[in-house]
Structure 1
Amino acid sequence: MIDSHVRKDEFGRGSSAHRILTIPNCLSALRLAGVPVFFWLAVLPWLGHGNQDLWAVLVLILSGITDYLDGFLARKLDQVSELGRILDPVADRLYTVATLVALALRDLVPVWFLVALLARDAAMAVGVGLVRRSGFEPLRVSFVGKSATFCLMVGFPLVLLGSTAFPGAGACHALGWGAVIWGSALYLLATVFYFRQIVGLRREAGR
């Protein structure tokens, strides 16, 4: 029995939000698979096994490309799904955490910076859990939140390149920290917006 909200299409096109096997979701899964690969490459210098920062940066670049593509294709092919709305921010958070931990281990970012962003993500996880328990859909990713993630995912690779013998390492270091600081500010602003949504939804649930 085929769901009446889903068109029979061998390419996976469908308007149902409950589809799982779609092109955007496959790209999101590919992004998630790249997290441990990136982390391993990024911590190799800390483990004393040589420097593979250029490969680590390449993984981050590919992650950014697939991040854009999965959102674009989801809208273009009418394949926006509930799973995709979950996978996309999860992949963003995991890359952010993996990058922060790797950079902190290598003393490229201060530990307090790592703790501050992890605390923010933990608070968000609690808030989103409360929303889900109230029966609401996952929070939609805001433009400010995506912009913050973009700045961080541009800034972190540049900070990483700034620690190598790359010819433009000094410029990469400066530009990278500029993007990280700006992204962190947007990150905190996005948190305010998200918690306003959470409070509003909780009040609605109470009524």
Structure 2
Amino acid sequence: MNPAPSPSPTVSDRIVTVPNALSIVRLLGVPLFAWLLLVAHADGWALAVLMLSGATDWLDGKLARLLNQMSRLGSLLDPFVDRLYVVVTLVAFVARDFLPWWVAAILIGRDVVLACTLPIYRRRGLPPPTVIYLGKAATFALMCALPLVLAAQLDWAGAATVHAFGFAFLVWGTVLYVWTGVIYLAKALALARSAPVAAT
């Protein structure tokens, strides 16, 4: 006899949840990270904030499933904070000459292009496309690359090795990020041609 399938997690309208609180803490860490990196030049502390953000990003997703606290706010807030960290980190790295400007332009430009496709879904009464596996892999690679690139700027024995690994993850993540951007763009354009605009 096959076991009964486990019920899918319920997505609620709750605002006050543990995962949402962690996302708010991550959000408040963005200006602190930027100040540490661009004003105080406290790169070690900035690295600690960036790593803590990555840890809480993993933790809030686990807790949302474990505590059955999946919420609509969390589904919007969590990826927003992820994107904000990536954008702020890239801009700060370019300002500090840790990365060439064109790398940041490619990654940020991809998100700008996809943001312009959101009205296609809204006009048809549809939600934005779900994140595909390759998109998650691309974000994971970038979230690994950025702390490694920052760690390589510190004065320690393993800096050269970490620098190599950081840029390897960055190249892999950038390629996947652009490729998934092309997939999302193609989906949006196909929808624009095939699905009628919802009646108002």
Specify the TM-score bucket, using the shorter chain as the normaliser.
Answer: 0.7 to 0.9
Equivalences, count: 189
Asked if structure 2 preserves the Cα contact closer than 8 Å seen for 1:27 and 1:70, the reply is yes
**Alpha-carbon shift at residue 108 of structure 1 (Å):** 1.3
For residue 142 of structure 2, what is the aligned residue in structure 1?
A: 152
**Alpha-carbon shift at residue 196 of structure 1 (Å):** 3.8
2:195 pairs with one of 164, 185, 204: 204
What value does the CA root-mean-square deviation take over the aligned residues? 2.0
Poorly superposed stretches of 4+, deviation over 6 Å: none
2:15 pairs with one of 12, 20, 27: 20
For residue 28 of structure 2, what is the aligned residue in structure 1?
A: 33
SS, match of residue 109 in structure 1: coil
For residue 143 of structure 1, what is the aligned residue in structure 2?
A: 133
Once the two structures are overlaid, the 10-residue window that deviates more, 127-136 or 72-81, is 127-136
Tell me which of the two structures has the higher relative contact order, counting C-alpha pairs closer than 8 angstroms and 6 or more residues apart: 2
* Structure 1 unaligned spans of 5+: 1-13
Inter-partner Cα distance in structure 2 for 1:15 and 1:149: 25
For residue 93 of structure 1, what is the aligned residue in structure 2?
A: 83
Task: Map residues 1-207 of structure 1 onto 2, 5 A cutoff.
Answer: 15-44=10-39, 49=40, 51-202=41-192, 203-206=194-197
Asked if structure 2 preserves the Cα contact closer than 8 Å seen for 1:60 and 1:153, the reply is no
**Alpha-carbon shift at residue 94 of structure 1 (Å):** 0.6
Asked if structure 2 preserves the Cα contact closer than 8 Å seen for 1:17 and 1:81, the reply is yes
The residue type paired with residue 68 of structure 1 is: W
The residue type paired with residue 204 of structure 1 is: A
**Deviations 1:1-21 (CA, angstroms, capped at 9, x unpaired):** xxxxxxxxxxxxx93432222
The residue type paired with residue 41 of structure 1 is: L
Inter-partner Cα distance in structure 2 for 1:157 and 1:119: 21
Asked if structure 2 preserves the Cα contact closer than 8 Å seen for 1:85 and 1:138, the reply is no
